[in-house]
Amino acid sequence: MAQKVATEQLTISEWVKGLAAIPVREFTLQNVQDYVVRHGVLPETLDKYCYFSKGSYTRNLIFRNDLFECMTVCWEVGQHSRIHNHRDQNCWMSAPIGRLRVQNYRVDCRDAAHGTCKIIPTDTYDLDAAHPAYVNPIEPVHEVLNLAEFDQRAVSIHIYSKPFDTCEVYLRDQGTYSDVPLFYTSEYGKLNSAEKLL
């Protein structure tokens, strides 16, 4: 759900500290969305969490505890995620740098025994510094795209509560879905040794 907002600008460290100060019982979809709406992130404070690769978007961990994780996702022009879910966890997104398109999908005719389903596109919205959003828990399957027409790199910030290490990925053309593991390109500002940026 996207909405236009005016925000107070914080460094990424101050922003994460504010998130971490929200009590566990109050870390709800609406309360965290209200926080993200009221508090923007100063783009220049994200530099140490921004790794770009021509091969794929990158996932860069900023903070993680038992309640939530926060990361930047860095997108070159034309890059997009696969169609995926979030393991029934809440997700909030903002894009302090650039602009992204979010395409939501409805999952029909799921057959867990065969790993098949039908994916139906539903609504879309754009994400930028003035328009943070959260993933609709009723329709959580989506993809994120840095469209060529946007003609600029983008950096989005994602909060997941609770953290998860795998997700379901949907292949729309084949009508199948499967579990995939998730990896970080960098953690706490340091590139993972296994990662090679192109």
Q: Are 43 and 183 in contact (CB under 8 A)?
A: no
| Whether residue 169 has pLDDT greater than 80 | yes
Mean pLDDT of the chain: 94
Considering only CA atoms, give the Rg of the chain.
Answer: 16
- CATH number for the 8-182 domain, one of 3.40.50.2030, 3.40.1390.10, 3.40.50.970, 2.60.120.10? 2.60.120.10
* Predicted confidence band of residue 197 (pLDDT cuts 50, 70, 90): low
pLDDT tens per residue across span 35-70: 999 999 999 999 999 999 999 999 999 999 999 999
Rounded distance between C-alpha atoms, residue 192 and residue 155, angstroms:
19
Whether 60 contacts 49, CB under 8 Å: yes
State yes or no: pLDDT of 101 exceeds 90.
yes
Closest CA to 90 of 26, 38, 21, 147: 26
The predicted pLDDT at position 198 comes to: 57
69-95 pLDDT tens trace: 999 999 999 999 999 999 899 999 999
Quickly state the pLDDT bin for 196 (edges 50, 70, 90).
Answer: low
CB atoms under 10 Å from CB of 129, counted, come to 17
* Mean local confidence (pLDDT), 28-38: 96
Calpha distance 17→58 (Å, rounded): 23
